[in-house]
Each structure stands twice: as structure tokens, then as C-alpha cells.
């Protein structure tokens, strides 16, 4: 179809129209993503590659903080992803750590998807599950890519055992990882107990060891996952890492600059990660340079950077909006394909410019 002269057309040659606006619930998101750990890691990898090739726009996240509620924040992650995904949008995610005391998850989120032809939003998705999923998929991808030139880890240790730790474990298991030992350490005994129950119910193989310090956990693990809510470094001794583990530093602020400087450092995006007092940002402030950064995960995937086996390797992912878009668009397409989109009729009401 060539369209009407003067009427803008989409990449497929169709004249621009406004898609009906859909609302996708957390239950629908979960139904699509459950058991799809492999596909989600693949589409996460594809999104990193598009981002690495420059086929994306991913400006800095915008942090909304409150003087009267200093532990809480809401972050906006606007982004645009090209390739065959072709979608713009924004994730709006809040972190209210006090929620945990009321038995509620810390984080809640929505994701808005915008049509690249008209700019019109066409979906609002519950996004705490999408966010946790893309974070876990990125961690599982990094665990695989960063351990290719060293013996595959058999002892995993989780420092901080909340929701993100659970998702990361599910994604590791769903992508073929099994462990001889799973170590857990958390400041809160109920978090440790809850995570342990999850591990037992998930049918995880191997021993479960509850550690009583971060040091014990790190020394006993060759794959270390940090998923705490620590606001400043609490792990400062590089000798705890002398067995050269792979470290997934998902919570970003656990490691003192000394540990960062003694490791190979891989990030998801350099400009993003060197902000907001993350551990790599503290290392940059201490040294006045970025020499301690070795590259991005995309650099490792494309072979531009190799990861030496004789040093700890730390992956610090700031968390990119393009990943939320990739996972969100996948969910939208799957729900649409199954004919279960909940469309809000007349959401956009003024659709004729001249009435
Ligand atoms: N990098 C990313 O892309 C990304 C994405 C999502 C979440 N995150 C981060 O992941 C982290 C975990 O999120 P969550 O939803 O699982 O939070 P959560 O509140 O469910 O769990 C965090 C756990 O960490 C424990 N903890 C806090 N300080 C600790 C310490 N010093 N040592 C050991 N345990 C400690 C808490 O007791 C709690 O059980 C947060 O920091 C969040 O910002 C990062």
C-alpha cells in the first residue's frame, strides 16, 4: 500500500493511525513471561547489541527524591529502541523501602509504550515484573558471558535476598545453571528464611548455606550476586575476592572503590553507570579517571574486550530503559497475539484535527 499523497506512512507503508490504548495487568505480564527465561535473555542480548550499535536513545534516568521522605524515590527511564522492536517509551518506577515492613514489595512501576510513527502511547503495562525480569535476564546473560574464559562457577552466593535475588536465581536456573552450593546472606533473618523457602520449593539442586557475614559468603562463592538496598559500600576488603569470583553487582553501591580498583569492571553503559554514587562512580571520584573500567557487556559479547580469568570481574549494570522497552514490547505482542488485550475505548478522544 502506498498511502495517500501527503499523508505520512509508517515503515510498513500503512498510513499513520492511532492504535487503541491497552492496559496490561501484572497477571497478564506474568503469564507471558513465566517459563520464558531463555527467550527473555535472548531479547535482552539483542537489546544490548542494538544499544551498543547506536540504534537506541537512552538518556539519563531522572530521579525524583523527596526531602521529607529521604529513603524513597521515583525514577523515570525514557528510552527509544530501534531494530525490529521499534518502540519508544518510559518506565516510571518507585522505590519505597518502608513498604517491606508492611509486607509490600519495595518497588512498583508502570511502563508506557509509544508508537514510533505517531508518538501516541498505545499501552500501559504493570512493570514491576518487567523490571525485575529484565534485571534478572541481564544478570544471567552477564554470568554466562563473563565466565566463558574461566571455570564455570558452581557455588553461587546471594548477598541480599529480596525479590531481585529471587528473580536472578530463577533466570540462572532457567538458563541452564545448576549449583553445588547456594549461599545466602542478608541483614534481615526473615528475608533469608523467605529466600531459603523459595529455593527449596523451586527444586534447586545442591546445598543451601546460610552465611553470617558478607565475607563468609563472598569467600565461599565463585559467582557472587549483590542485590541489597545498601546506600553506601559495606564491602571494602579486596582480599575477600582473592579467589577471583564473577560478581554481579546489581545493587551498585555495595563495593568500596578499593574492591572495584582490584577487579575487571564491566558495565552496561559507561555514562549511565558513573552517576548517582554507584561504586564505579566512587572509584572515578577517588582516582580522577576511568582507567579501571574495561568496557561494556556489549564489548564482551562482540569480542572487543576479553575478561582475564586471574582477577575478579565485577558487572555493574545501571539498568537501561531500552531493556524495559524490549521486554515490554515482547509482552505487548504476545498479549495482542493471544487476543487478550484490554483496550480502553475512546482513551484518545480528539483524533480529528479539525473536528
Ligand atoms: N541495576 C539494576 O538494573 C537494578 C534493577 C532493579 C533493582 N535493582 C536493585 O536491586 C536491589 C534489590 O532490590 P529488591 O527489590 O530485591 O529489594 P528488597 O528490598 O526486596 O531486598 C533487598 C534485601 O537486601 C537486604 N540488605 C540490605 N542491606 C544489606 C546488606 N548490607 N547486606 C546484606 N543484605 C542487605 C535487605 O534486608 C533485603 O532483604 C535494590 O538495590 C535495587 O535498587 C537494580
pLDDT in tens, 227-282: 999 999 999 999 999 999 999 999 999 999 999 999 999 999 999 999 999 999 99
Q: What is the pLDDT of residue 8?
A: 67
pLDDT value at 161 more than 80: yes
The CA 252 to ligand 1 mean position distance, Å, reads 10
Residue positions counted in the chain: 355
Residue 280 beta carbon below 6 angstroms from any ligand 1 atom: no
Cα-based distances in Å from 212 to 159, 183, 255: 11, 10, 18
By the 8 A CB rule, do 225 and 166 touch? no
Q: What is the pLDDT of residue 39?
A: 98
Give percent above pLDDT 90 in the chain: 90
The H or E element spanning position 248 is strand 246-249
pLDDT band at 352 (very low <50, low <70, confident <90, very high): confident
Q: What is the pLDDT of residue 350?
A: 82
Q: What is the pLDDT of residue 3?
A: 43
* Overall average pLDDT of the 57-79 stretch: 95
Domain boundaries, the chain: 22-130+321-343, 133-316
Contacts of 54 (CB under 8 A, 6+ apart): none
> What's the pLDDT tens digit per position in 14-55?
778 899 999 999 999 999 999 999 999 999 999 999 999 999
> What's the pLDDT tens digit per position in 287-320?
999 999 999 999 999 999 999 999 999 999 999 9
By the 8 A CB rule, do 245 and 296 touch? no
The CA 159 to ligand 1 mean position distance, Å, reads 9
Indicate which residue's Cα is closest to atom 21 of ligand 1: 162
**Residue 272 CB burial class (10 angstroms; 0-12, 13-18, ≥19):** buried
Residue 321 beta carbon below 6 angstroms from any ligand 1 atom: no
Q: What is the pLDDT of residue 229?
A: 92
pLDDT value at 4 more than 60: no
pLDDT value at 203 more than 90: no
Nearest of 186, 241, 238 to residue 218 by alpha carbon:
241
What is 171-199 written as a DSSP string?
A: HHHHTT---SEEEEE-SSHHHHHHHHHHH
In this structure, what C-alpha cell is assigned to residue 174?
532457567
DSSP state of 243: T
Q: Which CATH class is domain 22-130+321-343?
A: alpha beta
* CA 321 – CA 12 distance, rounded (Å): 25
Residue 191 beta carbon below 6 angstroms from any ligand 1 atom: yes
Long-range contacts for 111-116 (Cβ within 8 Å, ≥24 apart)?
111/324, 111/325, 111/328, 113/87, 113/88, 113/89, 113/325, 113/328, 113/329, 113/332, 114/87, 114/88, 114/89, 115/18, 115/19, 115/87, 115/88, 116/11, 116/80, 116/86, 116/87, 116/88
* Overall average pLDDT of the 156-185 stretch: 97
The H or E element spanning position 245 is none
* Overall average pLDDT of the 133-147 stretch: 98
* CA 50 – CA 217 distance, rounded (Å): 36
pLDDT value at 174 more than 60: yes
* Overall average pLDDT of the 87-106 stretch: 93
Q: Which CATH class is domain 133-316?
A: alpha beta
SS3 145: helix
Which ligand 1 atom is the nearest neighbour of the CA of 105? 20
In this structure, what C-alpha cell is assigned to residue 337?
497475539
* Mean of pLDDT over the chain: 95
Alpha carbons within 13 A on the beta-carbon side of 292: 27
Indicate which residue's Cα is closest to atom 29 of ligand 1: 228
Cα-based distances in Å from 204 to 196, 200, 208, 283: 10, 6, 9, 36
Q: What is the pLDDT of residue 101?
A: 87
Contacts of 338 (CB under 8 A, 6+ apart): none
DSSP state of 102: G
SS3 249: strand
The CA 229 to ligand 1 mean position distance, Å, reads 4
Q: What is the pLDDT of residue 16?
A: 82
Ligand 1, pocket-test mutation among 141, 228, 231, 248, most atoms within 8 A of CB:
228
In this structure, what C-alpha cell is assigned to residue 88?
519508544
Q: What is the pLDDT of residue 254?
A: 98
Ligand 1, pocket-test mutation among 140, 226, 229, most atoms within 8 A of CB:
229
pLDDT band at 1 (very low <50, low <70, confident <90, very high): very low
pLDDT value at 70 more than 90: yes
Q: What is the pLDDT of residue 131?
A: 97
In this structure, what C-alpha cell is assigned to residue 293?
573500567
Residue 187 beta carbon below 6 angstroms from any ligand 1 atom: yes
* Overall average pLDDT of the 151-167 stretch: 97
The CA 132 to ligand 1 mean position distance, Å, reads 11
**Where would I find the beta strands (DSSP E) of 61-106?**
62-65, 73-81, 87-95
pLDDT band at 353 (very low <50, low <70, confident <90, very high): confident
By the 8 A CB rule, do 165 and 188 touch? no
Ligand 1, pocket-test mutation among 164, 213, 255, most atoms within 8 A of CB:
164
The CA 223 to ligand 1 mean position distance, Å, reads 17
Residue 276 beta carbon below 6 angstroms from any ligand 1 atom: no
Q: What is the pLDDT of residue 354?
A: 87
Amino acid at each position: 500500500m502506498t498511502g495517500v499523497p501527503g499523508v505520512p506512512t509508517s515503515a510498513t507503508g500503512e498510513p499513520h493511525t492511532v492504535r487503541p490504548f491497552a492496559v496490561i495487568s501484572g497477571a497478564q505480564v506474568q503469564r507471558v513471561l513465566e517459563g520464558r527465561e531463555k527467550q527473555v535473555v535472548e531479547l535482552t542480548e539483542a537489546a544490548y547489541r542494538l544499544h551498543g550499535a547506536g540504534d537506541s536513545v537512552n538518556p539519563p534516568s531522572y530521579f525524583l527524591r523527596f526531602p521529607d521522605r529521604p529513603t524513597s524515590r521515583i525514577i523515570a527511564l525514557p528510552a527509544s529502541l530501534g531494530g525490529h522492536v521499534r518502540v519508544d517509551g518510559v518506565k516510571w518506577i518507585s522505590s519505597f523501602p518502608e513498604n517491606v515492613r508492611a509486607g509490600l514489595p519495595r518497588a512498583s512501576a508502570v511502563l508506557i509504550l509509544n508508537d514510533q510513527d505517531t508518538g501516541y502511547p498505545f499501552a500501559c503495562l504493570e512493570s514491576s515484573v518487567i523490571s525485575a525480569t529484565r534485571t534478572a535476564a541481564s544478570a544471567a546473560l552477564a554470568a554466562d558471558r563473563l565466565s566463558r574464559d574461566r571455570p564455570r562457577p558452581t557455588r553461587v552466593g546471594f548477598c541480599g535476598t529480596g525479590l531481585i535475588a529471587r528473580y536472578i536465581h530463577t533466570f540462572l536456573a532457567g538458563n541452564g545453571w545448576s549449583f553445588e552450593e547456594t549461599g545466602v546472606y542478608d541483614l534481615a533473618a526473615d528475608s533469608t528464611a523467605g529466600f531459603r523457602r523459595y529455593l527449596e520449593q523451586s527444586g534447586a539442586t545442591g546445598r543451601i548455606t546460610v552465611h553470617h557475614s558478607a565475607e563468609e559468603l563472598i569467600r565461599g562463592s565463585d559467582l557472587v550476586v549483590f542485590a541489597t538496598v545498601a546506600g553506601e559500600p559495606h564491602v571494602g576488603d579486596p582480599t575477600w575476592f582473592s579467589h577471583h569470583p564473577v560478581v554481579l553487582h546489581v545493587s551498585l553501591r555495595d563495593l568500596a572503590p578499593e574492591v572495584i580498583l582490584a577487579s575487571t569492571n564491566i558495565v552496561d553503559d559507561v555514562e549511565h553507570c558513573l552517576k548517582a554514587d554507584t561504586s564505579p562512580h566512587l572509584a572515578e571520584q577517588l582516582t580522577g579517571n576511568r582507567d579501571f573500567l574495561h568496557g561494556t557487556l556489549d564489548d564482551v559479547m562482540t569480542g572487543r574486550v576479553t575478561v582475564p580469568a586471574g582477577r575478579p570481574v565485577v558487572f555493574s549494570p545501571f539498568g537501561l530503559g531500552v531493556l524495559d522497552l524490549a521486554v515490554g514490547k515482547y509482552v505487548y505482542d504476545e498479549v495482542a497475539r493471544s487476543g487478550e488485550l484490554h483496550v480502553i475505548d475512546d482513551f484518545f478522544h480528539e483524533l480529528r484535527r479539525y473536528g
